[in-house]
Amino acid sequence: MCLLAFGWRPRPGLRLALVGNRDEFHARPTAALHAWPETTGVYAGRDLQAGGTWCGVGPGGRVAALTNFRCMNAPPADAPSRGELVSGFLQGSATAEDQARALQAKAHRYAGFSLLLVDANEAWVVSNRMPAARSLEPGVYGLSNALLDTPWPKLLRSRAALRQALGTGITDPRELATLLFDTTPPTMEEAEDEQAMTSAAANDDGALLQHFKKRYGEAFVNAMAAPFVLDHRYGTRATTTIVVPESGMGDILEWQYAADGTRSGEQHFRFEVA
């Protein structure tokens, strides 16, 4: 995925509320959210090119979600698919902590990524751009194509929208999904803040954006700066919403979109929370 806003234990009775947009080339073959026949209790889409997934739910309500890390460096020549990091956790039985610590040791083998792992007790983030995996305290977070809570305008806007929705008691997955249908590019003030942030950052995001601008045009770069990316070549393909209570039944919802941003499909599953 390219943008996540999520609340980890944001209030009593609610373990996780997550909404995320998957941005990808429209030509890349993809299977929509479905129950995986090979592993009971796994619900996720599937990248039909590499075989993994970007976000999903596993037995008992374990959750994993991946974002790519935007940088100029080419990935290792023999890098495995990052999608296997999500499917491996959903189909396995390791705790979020054990999986995060184990992945940290081999994270250098992959192209840049950040990975959210959630089990019944803890939420962890692991990235091959961080020195160590991190356990999360209860709160509302944002994750895009950089480190956790990097203050890009679209992340700040989406995180604030989720915080407000949860604060008013909204947990319906369809209502939460609408929070990321935002094609508005950053305001001039937001863009100036982001430019200052990227110029001072340790990564090379500013250089990469200039590369994108030369290759694809300024309109494409502006579209990428919105929470919902609208472009006929590469854009938001799906929105996934996951709601996990502390007990009872949880929800995973996926909306798919055509290249013009119109909704082309919906899948919704309920699952038992352990």
pLDDT on residue 232: 93
> pLDDT exceeding 90 applies to what percent of the chain?
81
Q: Is the dihedral of CA 136, 53, 198, 226 positive or negative?
A: negative
Q: Tokens 């999608």: give the residue.
A: 83
Does 190 have pLDDT greater than 90? no
Question: What pLDDT does residue 217 have?
Answer: 77
- Rounded Cα distance, 197 and 242, in Å: 30
Roughly what angle, to the nearest 10 degrees, separates helices 96-106 and 83-91? Answer: 150
Q: Which of 40-44, 152-156, 159-163, 204-208 has the lowest mean pLDDT?
A: 204-208
pLDDT at position 189, please? 73
Whether pLDDT at 16 is above 50: yes
Mean pLDDT comparison of 44-48, 186-190, 206-210, 222-226, highest-scoring range: 44-48
Q: Whole-prediction pTM value? A: 0.93
Q: Is the pLDDT of residue 79 over 70?
A: yes
Is 50 exceeded by the pLDDT of residue 200?
Answer: no
Q: DSSP string of the chain?
A: --EEEEEEEEETTEEEEEEEEEEEETTS-EEEEEE-TTSTT-EEEEETTTS--SEEE-GGG-EEEEEEPP-SSPPPTTPPPTHHHHHHHHHS---HHHHHHHHHHHGGGSSSEEEEEE-SS-EEEEETTSSS-EEPPSEEEEE-SSSTT---HHHHHHHHHHHHHHHTT---HHHHHGGG---PPPPHHHHHHHHHHHHHSSS-HHHHHHHHHHHH-HHHHHHHTSSS---SSEEEEEEEEEEEESSEEEEEEEEEE-TTS-EEEEEEEEEEE-
| Proportion of the chain above pLDDT 70, given as a percent | 89
Q: What pLDDT score does 201 carry? A: 46
Distance CA 267, CA 43 (A): 10
Q: What is the pLDDT of residue 103?
A: 95
Boundaries of every domain in the chain:
3-273
Report pLDDT for 15.
98
Which of 90, 98, 93, 99 minimizes the C-alpha distance to 41?
A: 90
pLDDT in tens, 201-258: 445 566 666 766 676 677 778 888 899 999 999 999 999 999 999 999 999 999 999 9
- Mean pLDDT across the chain, nearest whole number? 91
Task: Report whether pLDDT(107) > 90.
Answer: yes
- The answer to whether 36 and 43 have CB atoms below 8 angstroms apart is yes
pLDDT digits (tens, 9 = 90+) for 263-274: 999 999 999 999
Q: Which class is 3-273 in CATH?
A: alpha beta
Q: What pLDDT shows up at residue 194?
A: 55
